[in-house]
Structure formats: structure tokens, C-alpha cells
């Protein structure tokens, strides 16, 4: 599809160095952008400045370059964009409301557990802060199941059709946290839209977040990107690789090491990179493999 408008991105949180799981997201988003002759942007999701580890983002950028993944344009840093998130929250008007509940009060409501493991918000502050409570967080009111957008559906390029009933599966979610940081869900939607992102390629751990993001895109009048969620990389215990589960940091100090980590990530995606003896050989095989599965002709 020559001339097709494609903007992709890789958006790591600099809370720990890249591991095998985040490398899969980087590689897949890079390959998808390149086979569509699009742009590939890198955005450092350091909106939660309390969790960002100094030096980690610079190490990630250095590693991407050593592996041969060069991004287009300037790297965007979420920590520098808080005024944009505030402006978007303002535009949400009465869809957003002040909430004074703490974690314990929400957990005590026993409304159930959302897909992401958080307790579903019982709606205590939906109609105004009750006497004695003061503002802690900003929340988004989600529609009832029978209202427009009450059920969000989309077609994922890898996971297939997805459907989520926001009120039942998520509940009113946080836009600005009690610690003062803007929430991932709002920041990611504002940044994807302002960067003109057309295609989001990331791990399936974020599949559950996508309906929330689509709802916010509708409210803010943003276009909805296409989504591709790849299965997440798990360790031998079946846990998602993350800093919390002790995932090892990727290192690529030599060309051999770089090739080995890239081949492992490609094999996880199911790309045949056998016989790649050099980085150039790897990229040729990986691009051809991705193109056959997810390229313009496969759409």
C-alpha cells in the first residue's frame, strides 16, 4: 500500500531496563512500521516520575540503536507534557469528576475486580464529593452498558475481535492519581493522538486497557488507531516478564550478543530467522517474516 499513512511507536516506561518482553514489543512495533514504510516513534513513558529510574531511559535508547532500531524524529518524554494532559482532562468536562475515596474504601465496596486487578470503583463520588471527603483523584465516568459506548468493540490485528463492557469490567477509572501524576490511560491517548499514531503494536498485557483508551479517544474527538496486541512473554513459572518478576535486563555489548537477543525475540513472535549470521541478515529475514504475516498485503 504505497503512500499509506502509517505512524507507529514504541512507548517504554523507564522503570527498569528493557527485558525480553519489552524487546518483543519494540521489535514488533519497529517491524510493522518498516514493512508499512511508515514512521516509528519512540516515547518515554515517564509520566510517573516517582517510578522512573534515572539513567534507564538513556540506556533503552542506546540499546535500541545498538540493535539497529533507529527511531524517526525526536523522542517524546511524557514528564514534559503534563500541561497537555491537564488540557485534555479539562476538555472532558463533566465526564470527569473529583473522587475522595482511598484504596481501602474502594476495596471494601466489593463490586468486583477489574481485568487489570484493581477493585471496581463503586461510584461513591460520582454525584459530587460527599461531605467530609476531599479531592484525591480525578476519575472518568463510564457509560452504563445500554448507553452509547457502554460496550466498546474493536478488531485487534492479532487477537481478533475484542469486546468490553466498561461499567462491568472496568468501572469509573482514574485520570489523575492521588499522588498527583496523570494516569497512563489519559497520557497514552493524548500522546498517540498528538503524535498522529495510526498503529499501536504492543503486548497483550495492554489489551484490557484498549477499550478505555478508545472511549477516551471518542470523548476527546481523536481518531482510533489500529491495534495489534502480541501474546506476552512469560517466564518458566508462567508469569509475565517484568521487573517485578525479576526479568533479566537485555545486554548487547557485542554484535553476537545483539544478534542473539534479536533472534530470541523474533522466534518468540514466530518469525523464522534461522541462518541469520549478521545483524543485516537478521533484519532481512525478520522484515520478510513480519511482512508475510502482518504486512500491507496481509490486511
Decide: is 191 part of the binding site for ligand GLU (CB under 6 A).
Answer: no
The nearer residue to ligand GLU, 136 or 176, going by C-beta atoms, is: 176
Centroid of chain to Cα 118: 17
Decide: is 11 part of the binding site for ligand GLU (CB under 6 A).
Answer: yes
Residues of this chain, 123-182, that bind ligand GLU according to CB under 6 A: none
Residue 121 CB, nearest distance to ligand GLU (Å)?
A: 22
Out of 8, 12, 225, 289, point to the residue binding ligand GLU (CB under 6 A).
Answer: 12
Strand order in the sheet with 226-230: 160-165, 151-156, 226-230, 199-203
Decide: is 198 part of the binding site for ligand GLU (CB under 6 A).
Answer: no
In this structure, the number of other CB atoms found within 10 A of the CB of residue 31 comes to: 27
Out of 33, 35, 183, 188, point to the residue binding ligand GLU (CB under 6 A).
Answer: 188
Residue 155 CB, nearest distance to ligand GLU (Å)?
A: 18
Residue 19 CB, nearest distance to ligand GLU (Å)?
A: 11
Round to the nearest angstrom and report the end-to-end CA distance of the chain. Answer: 10
The nearer residue to ligand GLU, 124 or 195, going by C-beta atoms, is: 195
Residues of this chain, 37-96, that bind ligand GLU according to CB under 6 A: 45
- The whole-angstrom separation of Cα 168 and Cα 145 is 8
Q: Checking DSSP bridges between strand 39-44 and strand 76-77, what pairing results, if any?
A: parallel
Decide: is 13 part of the binding site for ligand GLU (CB under 6 A).
Answer: yes
Size (the chain), residues: 299
The nearer residue to ligand GLU, 206 or 271, going by C-beta atoms, is: 206
- Residue 22: how many CA atoms within 13 Å on its side-chain side? 25
Decide: is 206 part of the binding site for ligand GLU (CB under 6 A).
Answer: yes
Cβ distance 286 to 34 under 8 Å? Answer: no
CB-count burial class (<10 Å; 0-12, 13-18, 19+) for 279: middle
Residue 217 CB, nearest distance to ligand GLU (Å)?
A: 13
The nearer residue to ligand GLU, 12 or 289, going by C-beta atoms, is: 12
- The whole-angstrom separation of Cα 4 and Cα 297 is 12
Q: What angle do CA 252, 292, 235 make, to 5 degrees?
A: 45
* Contact letters for ligand GLU, residues 17-46 (x by CB under 6 A): ----------------------------x-
Closest by CA position to 272, among listed 285, 259, 261, 258? 285
Residue 58 CB, nearest distance to ligand GLU (Å)?
A: 16
# residues near ligand GLU by CB under 6 A: 7
Binding site for ligand GLU (CB under 6 A): 11-13, 45, 188, 202, 206
Amino acid at each position: 500500500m504505497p503512500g499509506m499513512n502509517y505512524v507507529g511507536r514504541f512507548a517504554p516506561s523507564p522503570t527498569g531496563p528493557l527485558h525480553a518482553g519489552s524487546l518483543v514489543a519494540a521489535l514488533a512495533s519497529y517491524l510493522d512500521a518498516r514493512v508499512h514504510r511508515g514512521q516509528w516513534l519512540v516515547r518515554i513513558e515517564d509520566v510517573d516520575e516517582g517510578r522512573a529510574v534515572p539513567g534507564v531511559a538513556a540506556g533503552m535508547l542506546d540499546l535500541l540503536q545498538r540493535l539497529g532500531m533507529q527511531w524517526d524524529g525526536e523522542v517524546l518524554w511524557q514528564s514534559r507534557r503534563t500541561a497537555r494532559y491537564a488540557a485534555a482532562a479539562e476538555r472532558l468536562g463533566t465526564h470527569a469528576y473529583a473522587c475522595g475515596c482511598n484504596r481501602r474504601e474502594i476495596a471494601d465496596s466489593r463490586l468486583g475486580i477489574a481485568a487489570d486487578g484493581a477493585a471496581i470503583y463503586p461510584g461513591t463520588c460520582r454525584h459530587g464529593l460527599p461531605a467530609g471527603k476531599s479531592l484525591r483523584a480525578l476519575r472518568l465516568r463510564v457509560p452504563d452498558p445500554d448507553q452509547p459506548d457502554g460496550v466498546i468493540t474493536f478488531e485487534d490485528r492479532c487477537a481478533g475481535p475484542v469486546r468490553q463492557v466498561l461499567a462491568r469490567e472496568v468501572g469509573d477509572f482514574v485520570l489523575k492519581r492521588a499522588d498527583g501524576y496523570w494516569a497512563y490511560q489519559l497520557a497514552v491517548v493524548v500522546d498517540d493522538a498528538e503524535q498522529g499514531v495510526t498503529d499501536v503494536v504492543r503486548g497483550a498485557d495492554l489489551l484490557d486497557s484498549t477499550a478505555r483508551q478508545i472511549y477516551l479517544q471518542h470523548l476527546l474527538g481523536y481518531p482510533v488507531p489500529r491495534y495489534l496486541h502480541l501474546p506476552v512473554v512469560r517466564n518458566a513459572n508462567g508469569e509475565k516478564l517484568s521487573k517485578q518478576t525479576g526479568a533479566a535486563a537485555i545486554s548487547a555489548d557485542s554484535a553476537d550478543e545483539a544478534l542473539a537477543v534479536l533472534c530470541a525475540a523474533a522466534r518468540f513472535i514466530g518469525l523464522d530467522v534461522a541462518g541469520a549470521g549478521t545483524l543485516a541478515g537478521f533484519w532481512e529475514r525478520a522484515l520478510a517474516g513480519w511482512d508475510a504475516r502482518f504486512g500491507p498485503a496481509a490486511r
